[in-house]
Amino acid sequence: MTATDLSTSTTSERTAAHIATTERYAAHNYHPLPVVLAEGHGAWVVDVDGKRYLDCLAGYSALNFGHSNERLVAVAREQLGRLTLTSRAFFNDKLSGFAEALARLTGKDMILPMNSGAEAVETAIKVSRKWGYEVKGVPAGQASIVTMEGNFHGRTTTIVSFSDDDVATSGYAPFTTGFRSAAYGDIDSIAAAIDETTVAVLFEPIQGEGGVVMPPEGFLRDLRALCTERNVLMVADEIQSGLARSGRTFACDHEDVVPDIYIMGKALGGGIYPVSAIAADREVMDVITPGSHGSTFGGNPLAAAIGTEVVAMLEEGTFQARSAEIGVQLEAGFGPLVGKGLTAVRVRGAWAGIDIDPTLMTGRQMSEALMARGILAKDTHGSTVRFAPPLVASDEDVAGLVEAVTEIITGA
């Protein structure tokens, strides 16, 4: 089978109508595949025409525990009928348990809850800067943060200020200052970018948007040592890589490294509700004082109830173990395709990036061909496709993904 361009003209009238209405009234900030989803259970979703698809994107890791997870849905339903929002002008009876549970999971003293991942990144930036002024003693207005080439942390004005993605930055200047770029995975490049004004190094243990790009072995340990030596906060964006996606609770765990600040989101809300947070020890988090940062919905009872159950599920360890098992299957399936249509394969837990020979097809064409076979995935950066199935995917599900990619690549 060869990849084809699946336009809306090949879809049903029902699907075409949904797409046309969405394109008419919703801004075009995404370029979706021409499928309109209506239901989801476990690792599978169903479109408006009743066709089933294996979801191999999982909401960019937001759906680690699968669609309509029974435990999370039950918690959400119960809380929906009791109390959903108070604002942080008052205490609520769910935030206390969530804060304690997430602090325990991360091994940190305190958490600061927000909603979206981008908000959590912005929160980490603010905390790092204030820590730099109040604790490290950086002169007022001079704090700098070292970021990585190829990063993806969100799309707010400040975050795109340190992006090197032309699509994310074009037309949005002037940008926020105070950031310096270093080569991802290159400890010498990072060391050269640090000076007396540097308050933090912000990085992804695995760059998901880049196509599941991993730094060299030992990089995280070296970065931990460098940040400690230079009195700089090590800030790990685990929004996509964390909460069991990589086969461990956090991707930093693969090198037994503990950052100064964890940034979490996506799977923290179980794919049901937007929940994000940062976690840090008291000497870092105490720079936040009443009125200096906040969010109307951050830490709301519904979010806290769902997040507490997510932590309980992670503390059982079964999702981390399953993720590691899926990774072994993906590595065994995709690895032999290198040199036979794929130029590279990167796997860490239930997360894989494949680079397709660009003379064969683009990543978009691969995604379209997979969709025709009942598998949903997402391309990135030309001829790269990343796969992140829910951690409830079965061996048979994963085998079907590998078989489909193999047949598309080889033309079988």
H helix or E strand, kind and range, residue 167: helix 166-169
- To the query of whether residue 237 is one of the catalytic residues in this protein, the response is yes
Q: Indicate which residue of 47, 222, 237, 355 is catalytic.
A: 237
Rg over alpha carbons for the chain, rounded to the nearest Å, is: 21
Integer Cα distance of 260 and 280 in angstroms: 6
Assess contact for 162 and 179: CB atoms under 8 A. yes
Six token digits for residue 62: 């937001």
Six token digits for residue 253: 């765990």
Six token digits for residue 117: 């991942």
Taking each helix axis from N to C terminus, what angle separates 301-315 and 95-106, rounded to the nearest 10 degrees? Answer: 30
Strands (E) across 190-292 are located at 198-203, 233-237, 261-264, 276-280
| C-alpha separations of 22 from 40, 245, 313 in Å | 20, 31, 36
Query: What residues contact 137, with CB distance under 8 A and at least 6 apart?
Result: none
CA 270 from centroid of its chain's CA atoms: 12
User: Position 177: which residue type?
Assistant: T
Q: Which of 318, 153, 328 is nearest to 238 (CA)?
A: 153
- To the query of whether residue 152 is one of the catalytic residues in this protein, the response is yes
Q: Indicate which residue of 98, 152, 250, 297 is catalytic.
A: 152
Assess contact for 142 and 197: CB atoms under 8 A. yes
Q: In what order do the strands lie in the sheet with 110-114?
A: 110-114, 276-280, 261-264, 233-237, 198-203, 144-148, 179-182
Question: 3-state class of 66 per DSSP?
Answer: coil
- To the query of whether residue 266 is one of the catalytic residues in this protein, the response is yes
By CB neighbour count within 10 A (0-12 exposed, 13-18 middle, 19+ buried), where does 370 fall?
Answer: buried
Assess contact for 338 and 347: CB atoms under 8 A. no
Q: Indicate which residue of 108, 130, 266, 378 is catalytic.
A: 266
Integer Cα distance of 176 and 75 in angstroms: 40
Just list the catalytic residues. Answer: 152, 237, 266
